[in-house]
């Protein structure tokens, strides 16, 4: 079953003057194949694990979901970045809008869900206010086990639950590194149920591991179908991955902004997930060889048709520095038809469905960009379900990794993130980070004359 196609008509020179020529496309495909070969070797030697996730055993995840999924009114997920964005993308795409407002029965006895990602007191206060500790299950996620925001939020939840007098072992699961880190130590010392995150799977590539699958399963998502979709992308036909990577590599040298614009509100969080995947994987100062390159382009999340009314003006008539990827749905769930016009000037929409309108607006936007030679491509899904969402996750993960490796970039590290983390640890008084506090205090010198 293949519900995903890639339409790159408006990205090739045969159709649009700013497009990629056949010769350039073949050149970039060859480069992408080299990146793909490097990735294949890394998978074989065990250093990169995300392509293996569709074949993982789900027994442990499904056992926890069966035992805990229908017992509680609320699920709190504690994590940030790669430990949260994938889960958000899954529930945004596959659970109904306004899910938390449904009754327990209408939720089919699955819990409401809450995410504590940012260290924001307004969010933490609200979540702990709305939930009852004796009727809440908690999943804490951190690959390193030491993420500052997760440590803060988990500490708050831990105290909140402990004060209620209930046994944490029955209401808590930790997902973290299998061997090391503060959360690993905590889980081992307190006999807390836990699921190890494979060391070969980085945070932003972990959505199809327990990181995304456990909380999704607790909410009734068909995680087997999600993995089946992901696996379908890498079962023999690599053409889509190589072509997508080739097109992106070509336009990265010409347009510094890479826009993802799904025409479905159910994919807004997917676009946010994509922004971390693309930005953190490809935005690198140095190559693996140690040369300064300042590689990468800026990912931009938009949403159709909303951003036709806010950013399309810039995309079409502003600087010619963007490459746009649309995502379309052939079929929209629960589609509604307009039966009556509230004003005679609206009579032309009578008989049309809302999903039809959305798809028409996408097509019209493609055409509007085309008239000014602004290139784009479109990823088409027959429908948005667990299978097609799994396809999207794997397609973008593979294309991103291939692009990095093809350009001598390590798509699996994030050295640019660590400096800010280390400064924060020093300022918060974490042991062994005193030198980072001193270093920060030496550079963070501001003059009042520049403050107005």
Q: Pick from 175, 100, 96: which is nearest to 131 by CA?
A: 100
Q: Going residue by residue through the chain, which has 452 residues, state the pLDDT in tens, using 9 for 90 and above.
A: 567 999 999 999 999 999 999 999 999 999 999 999 999 999 999 999 999 999 999 999 999 999 897 899 999 999 999 999 999 999 999 999 999 999 999 999 999 999 999 999 999 999 999 999 999 999 999 999 999 999 999 999 999 998 988 777 789 999 999 999 999 999 999 999 999 999 999 999 999 999 999 999 999 999 999 999 999 998 877 999 999 999 999 999 999 999 999 999 999 999 999 999 999 999 999 999 999 999 999 999 999 999 999 999 999 999 999 999 999 999 999 999 999 999 999 999 999 999 999 999 999 999 999 999 999 999 999 999 999 999 999 999 999 999 999 999 999 999 988 889 899 999 999 999 999 999 999 999 999 999 99
The residues, ordered by sequence, that sit 6+ positions from 77 with a Cβ below 8 Å of its Cβ are 84, 87, 113, 114, 115, 116, 138, 139, 141, 215
What is the maximum alpha-carbon separation in the chain? 71
The residues, ordered by sequence, that sit 6+ positions from 408 with a Cβ below 8 Å of its Cβ are 287, 288, 289, 291
Q: Pick from 319, 316, 354, 349: which is nearest to 334 by CA?
A: 354
Q: For residue 12, how far is the Cα from the chain centroid?
A: 28
At residue 281, the pLDDT reads 98
Q: Please report how many Cα atoms fall inside a 13 Å half-sphere around the Cα of residue 321, on the Cβ side.
A: 9
Residue 420 tokens read as 């800010």
Residue 70 · residue 110 · CB < 8 Å: yes
At residue 2, the pLDDT reads 61
Report the distance separating Cα 29 and Cα 242, nearest Å: 6
Indicate the domain borders of the chain.
4-42+227-406, 70-219, 417-450
Q: Pick from 286, 296, 287, 295: which is nearest to 408 by CA?
A: 287
At residue 38, the pLDDT reads 98
**How many CB atoms within 10 Å of residue 186?**
17
At residue 248, the pLDDT reads 98
Q: Please report how many Cα atoms fall inside a 13 Å half-sphere around the Cα of residue 250, on the Cβ side.
A: 25
Residue 172 tokens read as 């808590």
DSSP-derived 3-state class of residue 265: helix
Residue 171 · residue 111 · CB < 8 Å: no
Give the CATH class of 4-42+227-406: alpha beta
Q: Tell which CATH classification among 2.40.50.140, 1.20.210.10, 3.30.830.10, 3.40.50.10490 matches the domain 70-219.
A: 3.40.50.10490
Report the distance separating Cα 85 and Cα 276, nearest Å: 8
Residue 1 · residue 385 · CB < 8 Å: no
The residues, ordered by sequence, that sit 6+ positions from 354 with a Cβ below 8 Å of its Cβ are 332, 335, 336, 337, 338
At residue 201, the pLDDT reads 97
Catalytic residues: 280, 309, 421
Which H or E run contains 295?
strand 292-295
Report the distance separating Cα 71 and Cα 65, nearest Å: 10
Report pTM: 0.96
At residue 170, the pLDDT reads 84
Q: Pick from 335, 353, 392, 445: which is nearest to 86 by CA?
A: 392
- Helix ranges (DSSP H) in 140-209: 148-163, 182-190
The residues, ordered by sequence, that sit 6+ positions from 180 with a Cβ below 8 Å of its Cβ are 145
- Helix ranges (DSSP H) in 54-181: 59-68, 85-94, 121-130, 148-163
At residue 192, the pLDDT reads 93
At residue 1, the pLDDT reads 52
Which H or E run contains 276?
helix 268-282
Residue 150 · residue 156 · CB < 8 Å: no
**How many CB atoms within 10 Å of residue 250?**
22
Question: How do beta strands 4-7 and 376-381 pair?
Answer: antiparallel
Backbone angles phi, psi at 263, to 5 degrees: -95, 65
């Amino acid at each position: 079953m293949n519900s995903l196609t890639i339409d790159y008509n408006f990205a090739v020179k045969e159709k649009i003057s700013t497009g990629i020529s056949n010769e350039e496309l073949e050149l970039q495909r060859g480069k992408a194949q080299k990146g793909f070969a490097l990735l294949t070797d890394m998978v074989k030697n065990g250093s990169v694990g995300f392509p293996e996730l569709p074949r993982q055993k789900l027994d442990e995840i499904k056992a926890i979901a069966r035992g805990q999924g229908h017992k509680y009114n609320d699920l709190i997920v504690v994590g940030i970045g790669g430990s949260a964005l994938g889960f958000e993308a899954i529930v945004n795409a596959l659970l109904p809008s306004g899910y938390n407002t449904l009754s327990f029965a209408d939720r089919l006895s699955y819990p409401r869900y809450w995410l504590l990602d940012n260290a924001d007191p307004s969010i933490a206060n609200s979540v702990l206010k709305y939930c009852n500790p004796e009727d809440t299950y908690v999943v804490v996620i951190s690959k390193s086990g030491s993420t500052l925001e997760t440590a803060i939020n988990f500490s708050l939840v831990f105290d909140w639950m402990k004060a209620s007098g209930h046994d944490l072992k029955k209401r808590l699961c930790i997902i973290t590194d299998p061997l090391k880190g503060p959360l690993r130590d905590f889980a081992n010392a307190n006999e807390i149920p836990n699921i190890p995150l494979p060391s070969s799977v980085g945070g932003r590539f972990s959505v199809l591991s327990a990181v995304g699958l456990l909380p999704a399963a607790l909410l009734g998502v068909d995680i087997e179908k999600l993995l089946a979709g992901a696996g379908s992308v890498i079962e023999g036909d690599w053409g889509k991955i190589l072509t997508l990577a080739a097109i992106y590599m070509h336009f990265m040298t010409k347009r510094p902004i890479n826009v993802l614009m799904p025409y479905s509100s159910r994919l807004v969080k997917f676009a946010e997930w994509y922004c971390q995947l693309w930005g953190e994987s490809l935005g690198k100062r140095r190559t693996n060889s140690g040369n300064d390159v300042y590689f990468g382009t800026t990912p931009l999340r938009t949403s159709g048709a909303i951003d036709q009314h806010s950013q399309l003006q810039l995309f079409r008539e502003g600087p010619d520095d963007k490459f746009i990827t649309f995502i379309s749905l052939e079929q929209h769930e629960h589609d509604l038809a307009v039966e009556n016009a509230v004003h005679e000037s609206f009579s032309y929409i009578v008989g049309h469905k809302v999903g039809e309108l959305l798809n028409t607006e996408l097509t019209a936007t493609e055409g509007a960009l085309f008239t000014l030679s602004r290139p784009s491509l479109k990823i088409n899904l027959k429908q948005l379900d667990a299978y097609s969402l799994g396809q999207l996750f794997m397609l973008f993960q593979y294309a991103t990794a291939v692009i990095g490796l093809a350009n001598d970039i390590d798509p699996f590290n994030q050295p640019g993130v660590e400096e800010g983390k280390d400064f924060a640890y020093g300022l918060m008084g974490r042991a062994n980070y005193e030198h980072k506090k001193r270093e920060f205090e030496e550079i963070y010198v501001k003059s009042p004359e520049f403050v107005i």
